[in-house]
Chain A
């Protein structure tokens, strides 16, 4: 009779040793051929993206009054940053920028999502409705700004005439020429211009939501709201992230045309946002050093907001995966 002896290993299991990760350089050496393929594209990107960023940061440390040639610029260290951050107009412009960015993004997203939900359904004239809703997006921003200027015009505006005819106003409706109302008026135009973008993005997202889930939920007795909240919304999280991020970055960093053409930053700076202020400093005041410092601040703000936002939205998924 043979007796089998089994030894029970009571020691703690040895941790599985993960393969050692190569350093970046080692990885590049290992995959050198791959890198060679993308090298031309990288070189172009370095030339058209990295160099301008480098030069903007470099220039931000110099004083460049309009009377001096660029070669004679004067090194001032962080003085440009100090001047910007201690200037009252920077803080009022920053406040305007935050209001502009938040409300433009929020309402463009909400309106765009709402429109997407409507045109995602089958109804007669859906194609025409889609086309009409896209008009603000495809129209030139410059043309739109001029049209809205006349709609809002304080003396002869269409809006003022309409409100007067309806008995809702008894005098000129002053929007663009009012310090208190100008920013709101511009945000309305910006939302009008941007919501079709959100609509397109969300419509694309809606069409990826599996229909069988909705059908199954309906069989299980879920209400329309429950189906929307528990099925549609979670499926649109990715596209929402991208849409809001793109809207936010656009509003913060490149939504220049509408405020500039409609008011030029006035009255008394009430509609200046960072991007119009930077343009004015660079090309109106011919002070490229300060404008560069301003641009660097804007760059940092956009990057930080982007990182925080993406982390906030993707953090939950990461945690769930780890659990």
Chain B
């Protein structure tokens, strides 16, 4: 079991108030020659953000969270805070519970006079609960929300303007994609707490059986289609775990990377400075990307027939049963498969153990334009006092909590089993090094972060992603419409949605 240092390591502060000197990669993140608040900006270059690089920077800095945060809010500050977040539940690993408890212990030690009233929420209920609470002026002062949720509250004027600088961090300490996700109409409404991306997972033994190189995943989407077909033809097993269910977040998480790779998108979200006013889903690239799914499902029949009603959960069983060769999934998929294998018995256990041993992780394929993946994670938001219970927000207490949570130490530890630190300095900590040693394939999934594209940061995003995009897929895959018609139909729907109705 992983243990964390309980004590606070106080770093020598060099040059008066400035201290940490850290080089965070060639053309990668920031040079921290000063205190964190003065970190210099540098762009993140996906070409440099490789598994090797990630391993090389891990464990190169030491962090003193209490000292950093006390520079923002004095440690003797007295205040009260209400905080909602999705805490570890009964399904979470024991380690998550331990880390959660350690966080509150550390925060309590650093800020003994800040009383935090915590509400632990269930993922499936939190959004509607917090919507209702905000309408009824009973929202919490601070909440940690999944990456897509915040914009709705920002658009409704229910969040306070609040960004990394307010808690002593610079914007450059966070992924540009993460900062996009907390930005609404040019203003910042949150601080990223953790970020994650998916990767391509394949079964090396099925690859071998199909006559493919078991150690090499498909490099492009076209190659993925070809591999999927070859697997089906040579083994009779399904090649790629296509997911096209409507009203399911799993679908856009797997299809949008395909769309972005072909220089398309729902809107222009893949651009560096998106306006969210240009519809790109029915561009030539968009149609080409949709054609790939059509080819796999209709032409080659190399993917599960059940793709129209499947989520990733339904793909896990055929994968562990050695019947499905490739899926796009989270870093935690490996742990989930180990868990499934442990529960199998008899002959099934033998198969499951073999599949786990043959699991490989690789980058999500690229397209003619780029390699892309959905940028996921969570952000910390401070609500507008008007919608908060009691009509007041203790801003200093909120800053202390957000500083503590979004700093390199705790944004790494809290993401231990299933995500990555939102604060880029987290990748340089010894805790990240420990994670990389402990969690298989974490270096691969982490290296996908540099290719991350967040969903459009507009309140209509859930409708576009969870309904319009899957409907487009289903229209094409059931041949209710041609590929071009399905893309044009989706474009019309998106137009209608963003035009206000």
Contacts and interface: CB of A to CB of B under 8 A. Distances in A.
Given A69-B157, A155-B238, A286-B462, A263 B309 contact: yes
B245 A266 contact: yes
Given A66-B459, A285-B463, A268 B135 contact: no
Interface string B438-475: 00000000000000000000111011001100110011
Interface string B272-315: 00000000000000000000000000000000111111000010
Nearest to B481: A268
Contacts of B335: none
A286 B152 contact: yes
A232 interface: no
Contacts of A40: none
Contact of B463 (A69, A260, A263, A286): A286
A155 B305 contact: yes
A285 B459 CA distance: 10
A70 interface: yes
Nearest to A180: B478
B309 A177 contact: yes
Given A67-B156, A156-B317, A283-B128, A268 B478 contact: yes
A72 B157 CA distance: 11
Contacts of B157: 69
Contacts of B135: 69-70
A256 to B, nearest CB: 13
A65 B458 CA distance: 12
Given A67-B460, A284-B466, A267 B309 contact: yes
Contacts of A283: 128
Nearest to B324: A155
A187 interface: no
B266 to A, nearest CB: 15
B158 A155 contact: no
Contacts of A266: 245-247, 308-309, 470, 474
Interface string B116-132: 00000000000010000
B480 interface: yes
Contacts of B94: none
A149 interface: yes
Contacts of B304: 154-155
A68 B480 CA distance: 34
A176 interface: yes
Given A66-B460, A83-B501, A149-B309, A267 B474 contact: yes
Given A155-B304, A156-B318, A67 B501 contact: no
Interface in A40-61: none
Given A66-B460, A66-B463, A268-B471, A154 B152 contact: no
A65 B501 contact: yes
A179 interface: yes
A67 B154 CA distance: 9
Contacts of A72: 156
B248 interface: yes
Given A155-B318, A262-B309, A284 B156 contact: no
Nearest to B468: A285
Contact of B155 (A66, A172, A176, A267): A66
B500 interface: yes
Contact of B306 (A69, A154, A265, A285): A154
A177 B305 contact: yes
A193 interface: no
Given A179-B480, A284-B247, A153 B460 contact: no
A79 to B, nearest CB: 9
Interface of A: 63, 65-70, 72, 83, 149, 153-156, 172, 174, 176-177, 179, 260, 262-269, 280, 283-286
Given A260-B247, A266-B474, A286-B462, 14 more contacts: A66-B460, A69-B135, A72-B156, A154-B304, A154-B305, A156-B317, A263-B309, A264-B245, A267-B477, A268-B474, A280-B247, A284-B247, A285-B497, A286-B152
Closest 4 CB pairs of A and B: A66-B459, A69-B156, A264-B247, A154-B305
27 contacts: A67-B152, A67-B155, A67-B156, A67-B458, A72-B156, A155-B238, A155-B304, A155-B306, A156-B317, A156-B318, A176-B306, A176-B308, A176-B309, A177-B305, A177-B306, A179-B480, A264-B247, A264-B309, A265-B246, A266-B247, A267-B477, A267-B478, A268-B478, A284-B247, A284-B466, A284-B467, A286-B462
